Amino acid sequence: MDIKIERQPSQEYLNRLGVSKWPIWTKEVSEFPWTYDEAETCYFLEGDVVVTPLGGQSVQVGKGDLVTFPAGMSCTWNIKKDVRKHYMFG
């Protein structure tokens, strides 16, 4: 159950995915548990986050990253710098 991270994807690729039309989610510095009922793809406009899957390796993601979290994954989000991201479930 891997978190997929694409660092600094091209604008052309983001346009093809339609990222700019996805809703935006914001969250201040905080730490909380989260479980993904379905896969989520998100593009970070701002922020710095350490995501630690249950029993897995922590990953650091933030501004400019396109990230896919797998369905069924439980993890802890540790937001180091306020987050603003586009997101899409499914």
pLDDT 10s digit of each residue in the chain, 90 long? 789 999 999 999 999 999 999 999 999 999 999 999 999 999 999 999 999 999 999 999 999 999 999 999 999 999 999 999 999 999
Would you say 52 and 60 are in contact if contact means Cβ atoms under 8 Å apart? no
Beta strands in 36-73 (DSSP E): 40-53, 59-62, 65-69
For residue 16, what are the domain limits? 4-89
State the DSSP H helix or E strand holding residue 35, giving kind and residue range, or none if neither: strand 30-35
Query: What was the pLDDT predicted at 1?
Result: 72
Q: How many domains does the chain have?
A: 1
Which pTM does this prediction carry? 0.96
> CATH number of the domain that 74 lies in?
2.60.120.10
